Amino acid sequence: MKTWSLLAVAASAGLVASVALAEPRRDAILADLREQAKKEDPRFAGFSAERGATLYRATHQGKDGPISCSTCHGSTPLGNGQTRLGKAIDPMAVSKNPARYTDSANVEKWFKRNCTEVLGRGCTATEKGDFITFMSGQ
């Protein structure tokens, strides 16, 4: 009992301290992706912001020519993007748009659509986690 209450106090103190830095819904999305990544690749050793940055900028051969995430989202994730039909896209960087990567259904919807569009395949859990880790530091 005593251990439990001590743990609870420690946990809530930790939670309060991390609220300003982290967003629990984003942390939960990353935790899910981490579990999936371990299943997909036993050598998985954590997400990487650098790999996420590379993924963001890498150009692929799309069905209408060369395409990358940055084609629509902008050369820097700190700015607005623009869809091919001219509609503005809010910044991808968490510092500019704190609501990013907090709704798991929305996150999955857009990875599904846009990985297919840009990579011609679905993204792996590692790629998704790398991407969100990169954007969280931007």
What is the binding site for another protein (CB under 8 A)?
A: 63, 83-87, 105, 109, 112-113, 116-117
| Residue 82 to residue 55: CA distance in whole angstroms | 19
In the bound state with another protein, the residue whose beta carbon lies nearer, of 12 and 109, is 109
Q: In the bound complex, what is the minimum distance in angstroms from residue 6's beta carbon to another protein?
A: 43
In the bound state with another protein, the residue whose beta carbon lies nearer, of 53 and 81, is 81
**Closest to 60 measured CA to CA, from 121, 113, 132:** 121
In the bound state with another protein, the residue whose beta carbon lies nearer, of 27 and 117, is 117
Q: In the bound complex, what is the minimum distance in angstroms from residue 83's beta carbon to another protein?
A: 5
Q: In the bound complex, what is the minimum distance in angstroms from residue 113's beta carbon to another protein?
A: 5
